[in-house]
Structure 1
Amino acid sequence: MTFQPNRRDFLRTTAAAGASLALTKGLLAAPSQKSVLVFTKSSGWEHDVVKRIDGKPSIMDNAITEMGKKHNFEAVCSKDGRIFDSAEFAKFGVAIFFTTGDLLEEGTDKQPPMTAAGKQKLLDAIHGGKGFVGVHAASDTFHNKPDSPEKGTRYVAYGEKSDPYLRMLGAEFITHGSTPRLQSCKVTINDPNFPGLEGVSSPLEFTEEWYSLKDFMTDIHVIGTLDTAGMKGNCYQRKPYPVIWSRMHGKGRVFYTAMGDRPENWQIPFFLNLLTGGILFSLGEAKGSVESNLIVAAPGYAEIPPREPAK
């Protein structure tokens, strides 16, 4: 029998991010509220911030639910790829992804995968005006095929032949450093007027598992660039490149930040304010620029770093 998801299948109870404060469970949206889908299926690596331990909401689930309470939107959290084929999906103003791998496969977390039709419905919905927010590993999703990191296929620039999801998002993850995995680096704020960045000084020092990215859509509006000077690891031996941006995909507002790996970062006001601003921008509740500035903000954006030496 074909499974048809409904609201109860995807609504999750909530608790405060990074704290023990108990919240009311099962809170439903008021009629004036907008709903966002927080989708955290991990067909590839499952990050700690999206893991549900003993059936409890993840760090990310909790954080975005709290944002919604403060900013009048309802967060519906799911790992079930069938939601994109359901009537439920049309109700969301924004889809928020922290995902990995080929979401058409069951993969690591063993949650139901998306269907090819569901993936296309997502892309069509965004093109038609639904917002999209990608967090950290959203760029480590739907890699171009064949995807063979050990053979270096991620170091190839695919351009217009990139997966449609990656072109919607704005770039693709190559790899990240391993020795060390986390590095404290400077991020240049290219657009201090973007929602959530009010009062933030540039450059900003931030510790993260920094993604090295490629195949940037040339129409992106760069909000933040990573200063790669002095970073350790071959994947960072390149000129500064975007790690926060916005763009339009048809009529849909897209926002992406490469930040969000560390559980600790989900308690830092800068990151939470940035993500809140990106969500409100994608919902159409906050004004933010989508004017292309890639060439000016990151003139070396197209540079692909050298591969790590074979072990």
Structure 2
Amino acid sequence: MTIRLLVYTRTTGYRHDSIPDAVTALQALDGLMVEHSEDPAALEAPLEGYAAVVFLSTSGEVLTPAGRERLAEYVGSGGGFVGVHAAACTEYDWPYYGGLLGARFDRHPVHQPGKVVVEDPDHPATQHLPTVWDFTDEWYDFRSNPRERVRVLVRADESSYEGGGMGDDHPLAWCRDEGEGRVFYTALGHASEAYRDPDFMAHLLGGIAWAARTRPENRHA
């Protein structure tokens, strides 16, 4: 089954150099039909034809009032929403968005190696991962811990890197329901290298498939 996605990468704040590589990597996955846009008008059009909308390292205010209304209606009525990395640095002026995603970005230390601890090995985004996954990223801290509002899938082991600010309970990827829709977020995915990592791409594909209510049968091409 082909998963049709709208991948949205508009930025009005910091722009990640990895965005082109990330889009290319998603387009290379068998079973995905990726429509990429940075035009706010794309979110003002009907979204029901998409299995999920992906905010891929968006930043700042990226939606019009009409786009905000359309996205909320889409997810609430059963659409999938996926946020990747800087999606947590997005739409600070829209309270609904913070609740939709589950948490908002606060700060991060330098890009460095660390360890990801899998809490929920039964989710499509984690079932392929080892219990402890060595990875390199920015290890986002959030303004609040989302645990009470979401299903935490993986957390950071702050003892494995320098500069963590959330302590022992540091969620990094999670999922939740919003109305009749599904939301998946992963804080990982800062650098272009992530989108050439088979484990990360399987993690991302699993989250997309879960949000879209399909099976993640495909693998990185």
Q: Separation in 1 of the partners of 2:111 and 2:43?
A: 34
Alignment match, 1:73: 32
SS state of the match for residue 260, structure 1? coil
Question: Which one has the largest radius of gyration?
Answer: 1
- The answer on 1:49 being equivalent to 2:18 is yes
Bigger proportion of residues as strand? 2
Q: Taking structure 1 as reference, are residues 34 and 205 closer, same or farther at Cα in structure 2, changes over 3 Å only?
A: closer
Alignment match, 1:97: 55
Alignment match, 1:278: 207
Percent sequence identity is 30
Shift in Å at residue 183 of structure 1?
1.9
The residue correspondences of 1:11-22 to structure 2 (distance < 5 A) are none
- The answer on 1:83 being equivalent to 2:42 is yes
Deviations 1:2-38 (A, max 9, x none): xxxxxxxxxxxxxxxxxxxxxxxxxxxxxx6341100
Q: Is the 8 A contact 2:128 2:202 kept in 1?
A: no
Q: Separation in 2 of the partners of 1:127 and 1:242?
A: 24
Q: Is the 8 A contact 1:231 1:237 kept in 2?
A: no
Deviations 1:126-171 (A, max 9, x none): 0110001100000011125xxxxxxxxxxxxxxxxx8110100111
Q: Is the 8 A contact 1:167 1:217 kept in 2?
A: no
Q: Separation in 2 of the partners of 1:236 and 1:196?
A: 25
SS state of the match for residue 68, structure 2? helix
SS state of the match for residue 184, structure 1? strand
Alignment match, 2:151: 221
Shift in Å at residue 227 of structure 1?
1.1
2:71 to 122, 146, 149: 122
Residue identity matched to 1:165: Y
- Structure 2 residues without counterparts, runs of 5 or longer: 217-221
Q: What do you get for the CA RMSD once the two structures are aligned?
A: 1.8
The residue correspondences of 1:112-261 to structure 2 (distance < 5 A) are 114-144=63-93, 163-177=95-109, 181-215=110-144, 216=146, 218-229=148-159, 231-233=161-163, 236=165, 238-261=167-190
Shift in Å at residue 82 of structure 1?
0.9
Shift in Å at residue 236 of structure 1?
2.2
2:193 to 244, 255, 264: 264
- Greater RCO, 1 or 2 (C-alpha within 8 Å, sep 6+): 2
Shift in Å at residue 210 of structure 1?
1.4
Shift in Å at residue 196 of structure 1?
4.1
Alignment match, 1:8: none
- Structure 1 residues without counterparts, runs of 5 or longer: 1-31, 51-57, 104-113, 145-161, 288-311
Shift in Å at residue 101 of structure 1?
0.7
Task: Give the TM-score, by structure 2 length.
Answer: 0.90
